[in-house]
Amino acid sequence: MKPINSPVVVALDYPDARAALALADRIDPSLCRLKVGKELFTREGPSVVRALQERGFEVFLDLKFHDIPNTVASAVHAAADLGVWMVNVHASGGRRMMTAARERLAQGGYSTLLIAVTVLTSSERGDLAEIGLDIEPVEQVRRLAALTADCGLHGVVCSAQEAVMLRQAHPKPFALVTPGIRPAGAAGDDQRRIMTPPMAIEAGVDYLVIGRPVTQSADPVATLKDIIASLPS
């Protein structure tokens, strides 16, 4: 496998494998990693993950598991059996859930990275208030990242706006994985806590998850290359 030369993870949020593989077939696997999320996985199942791996890509399986500890540990185990590079759970599932998942991976000797979503990048203060959390997103991100680190996971999903604060509290190799990335002038869509690709890297982010700015572009490959070229080295 060739070394991967960028921190970019392209979210393959396509309706089916045909569309997802059409983009994958136009990208060199050294350019980026690929994320398979709920829509594509529900439609196509593990076969689309294998098809991407056969093309030389490292895959982030983004199913954001959130359930009782045994169920999540078993689901994470199944993801690791697929040989994915990274898998995620919701940190709000709590300590016992995250610990059970981490222990299951350790028992199997898997190298899959296990990370936890703190506060979705589409959420802002008002969204948290409606679910009973009358605090700023950054405060909840701080709490859940501390819990995640204490449970021994490899990192968190957060917004790049929280990266400087989290990097101070959690030195590398604790991974900061940030969706809500938008090149200057791009539509925010349903995202709320956003940042541009170069600013996110300057803030200390490890991996930039980018979907629609690439997948909905008239020329996804050129847009991806432009984003990578815009990053500080």
Ligand X SMILES: O=C(O)c1cc(=O)[nH]c(=O)n1[C@@H]1O[C@H](COP(=O)(O)O)[C@@H](O)[C@H]1O
Catalytic residues: 62, 64, 67
**Residue 63 marked in a binding site:** yes
In angstroms, the CA 154 to CA 115 distance is: 6
Question: Nearer to ligand X by C-beta: 41 or 146?
Answer: 41
Count the alpha carbons within 13 Å of 129 in the hemisphere toward its beta carbon.
Answer: 4
In angstroms, the CA 99 to CA 154 distance is: 12
Number of C-beta neighbours around residue 121 at 10 A = 25
Question: Nearer to ligand X by C-beta: 9 or 80?
Answer: 9
Q: Which of these segments, 48-56, 117-125, 145-153, 167-175, binds ligand X (CB under 6 A)?
A: 117-125
Does 206 engage in binding with ligand X (CB under 6 A)? no
What are the beta bridge partners of residue 34? 10, 59
Q: Residue number with the shortest CB distance to ligand X?
A: 211
Give the pair of three-digit tokens for residue 68: 């009782």
Handedness of CA 201, 204, 166, 164 (dihedral sign): negative
| Interface with ligand X (CB under 6 A), residue from 53, 92, 112, 121 | 121
Q: Which residues bind ligand X (CB under 6 A)?
A: 11, 13, 37, 62, 64, 88, 117, 120-121, 157, 179-180, 189, 191, 209-212
Binding site for substrate: which residues?
13, 35, 62-71, 121, 182, 191, 211-212
